[in-house]
């Protein structure tokens, strides 16, 4: 998406603005409405600096057997390892833009102002990568680009920053795999999907059990573009994934799913903001959570339909399944509709396994524990049809299966 130069404030200014914001507001706690269910008060004590420890991590919590094929971009703390450009096929280029202040500043143009996550990234990011996907003559889809985000410094923090530019008419396949062992992990991903372009996207958050994960995925969509995105949050002690989706052209379609899987005392937060600024766009969001033990899940979903965004089709559904009396789920769906000719719906449910379904399975001779497991798996697997790309679907399926088996 081209930016007007006048809109862009320079990188040093951007950074200064972020510092000013953070100095005034600091780490939010429950008194802040946007952080009502997810307090970051514990970070006030932390002395996090950018991670520079690049030792390989000892145990990957990820099931790597179904790892998708493609070109791997290794981001470990502030160390970045890119595939050599001559190894990449026509249509894909991956560049280190750490020194390119203009490119970094441009990527911030549409990011939320006065918002914690962009501010943290602007203040602390030590590297920046741009991935450009351009339309090719070949009919076959381009290979996937896999962002492998690690980092092993338990005392440190990492702030990876990646801009993915899917150029006009191109089709991109991007996977994010977050398995950092850092104390604080704050990845910022900006996806700029241009007119007529398409993005297939998965995101797996499987970080170490002590990690605080604060991720922001910004999705910007041009005219007639499509995004098919699926995220799983299963790692970390406290994890928040914010997705900010912005329609910048008409006739664009966003299909966005997110699953969170909580155990022990894990805290998972999925916060999404969909901004329908332009007419004739569609967004469909599906959020599911499974919470065991004393885990807590949060879903906050705001859909804003601007006065000019007529014929918007906005659907949002979140469901949380509690497997334990001590688990807790909170949901805050919000619709802000300023246009009159729209179809929008949202729903949020929190519940235990349905007794009627349990009885049906048991009445067929299936034992209680087996019936429970069948229904939990079904609750999650039911969403996997949303993933269009078969490789991505296989990878995400294996993560869910692995989590389910470990729970038993």
Partner 1 sequence: MNLLEIKNLHASIGDTKILHGINLTINRGEVHAIMGPNGSGKSTLSYVLSGRDGYEVTDGEILLDGESVLEMEADERARAGMFLAFQYPVELPGVTGMSFLRAAVNARRREAGQDEVDQLEFVKLVRAAAADLGVDNEMLKRAVNVGFSGGEKKRYEILQMSLLKPSLAVLDETDSGLDVDALKIVSDGVNAQRGGDCGMLVITHYQRLLSHIVPDFVHILAGGRIIKSGDKSLALEVEENGYAGLVDAA
Binding stretches for partner 1 (CB under 8 A): 354-357, 359-368, 370-371, 374-375, 377-382
13 vs 370, beta carbon nearer partner 1? 370
Describe the crossing of helices 355-362 and 368-384 by its angle, rounded to 10 degrees: 120
Q: What angle do CA 23, 49, 58 make, to 5 degrees?
A: 145
Three-class SS of residue 5?
A: helix
Q: Provide, rounded to whole angstroms, the least separation between the CB of residue 381 and partner 1.
A: 5
304 vs 372, beta carbon nearer partner 1? 372
d(C-alpha 220, C-alpha 31), whole Å: 30
d(C-alpha 46, C-alpha 237), whole Å: 15
365 vs 390, beta carbon nearer partner 1? 365
337 vs 375, beta carbon nearer partner 1? 375
Three-class SS of residue 85?
A: helix
348 vs 353, beta carbon nearer partner 1? 353
88 vs 366, beta carbon nearer partner 1? 366
User: Under 8 Å CB-to-CB from 102, ≥6 apart: which residues?
Assistant: 8, 10, 11
Closest CA to 345 of 320, 312, 319: 312
Q: Provide, rounded to whole angstroms, the least separation between the CB of residue 209 and partner 1.
A: 28
Residue whose entry in the numeric block shows the structure tokens 């007419």: 279
Please give the structure tokens belonging to residue 13: 């200014």
- Quick check: 133 and 164 in contact, CB under 8 A? yes
DSSP for 150-170, written as a single string: E---TT-EE--EEEEEE-TT-
User: Under 8 Å CB-to-CB from 31, ≥6 apart: which residues?
Assistant: none
d(C-alpha 136, C-alpha 92), whole Å: 9
88 vs 357, beta carbon nearer partner 1? 357
Three-class SS of residue 226?
A: strand
């Amino acid at each position: 998406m081209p930016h007007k130069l006048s809109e862009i404030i320079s990188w040093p200014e951007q950074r200064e603005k972020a510092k000013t914001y953070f100095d005034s507001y600091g780490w939010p706690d429950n008194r802040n409405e946007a952080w009502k269910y997810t307090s970051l008060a514990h970070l006030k004590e932390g002395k996090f600096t950018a991670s520079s420890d690049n030792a390989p991590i000892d145990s990957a919590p990820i099931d790597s057997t179904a790892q998708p094929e493609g070109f791997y971009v290794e981001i470990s703390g502030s160390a970045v390892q890119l595939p050599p450009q001559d190894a990449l096929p026509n249509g894909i280029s991956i560049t280190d833009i750490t020194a390119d202040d203009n490119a970094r500043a441009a990527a911030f143009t549409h990011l939320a102002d006065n918002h914690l996550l962009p501010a943290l990234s602007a203040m602390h990011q030590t590297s920046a990568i741009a991935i450009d996907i351009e339309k090719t003559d070949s009919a076959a889809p381009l290979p996937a680009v896999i962002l492998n985000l690690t980092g092993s410094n338990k005392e440190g923090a990492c702030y990876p920053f990646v801009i993915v530019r899917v150029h006009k008419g191109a089709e991109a396949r991007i996977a994010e795999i977050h398995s950092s062992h850092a104390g604080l992990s704050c990845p910022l991903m900006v996806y700029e999907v241009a007119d007529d372009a398409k993005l297939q996207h998965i995101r797996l958050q499987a970080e170490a059990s002590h990690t605080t994960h604060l991720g922001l995925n910004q999705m910007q969509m041009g005219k007639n573009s499509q995004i098919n995105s699926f995220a799983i949050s299963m790692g970390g002690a406290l994890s928040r994934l914010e997705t900010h989706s912005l329609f910048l052209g008409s006739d664009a379609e966003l299909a966005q799913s997110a699953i969170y899987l909580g155990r022990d005392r894990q805290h998972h937060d999925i916060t999404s903001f969909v901004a329908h600024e332009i007419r004739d766009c569609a967004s469909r969001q599906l959020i599911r959570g499974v919470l065991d033990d004393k885990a807590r899940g949060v879903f906050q979903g705001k859909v804003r339909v601007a006065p000019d965004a007529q014929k918007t089709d906005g659907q949002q559904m979140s469901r949380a399944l509690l497997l334990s009396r001590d688990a807790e789920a909170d949901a805050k769906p919000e619709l802000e509709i300023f246009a009159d000719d729209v179809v929008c719906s949202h729903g949020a449910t929190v519940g235990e396994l349905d007794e009627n379904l349990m009885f049906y399975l048991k009445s067929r001779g299936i034992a209680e524990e087996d019936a429970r497991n069948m229904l939990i798996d079904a609750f999650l697997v039911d969403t996997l049809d949303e993933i269009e790309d078969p490789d991505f679907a296989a990878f995400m399926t294996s993560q869910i299966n692995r989590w389910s088996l470990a729970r038993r």
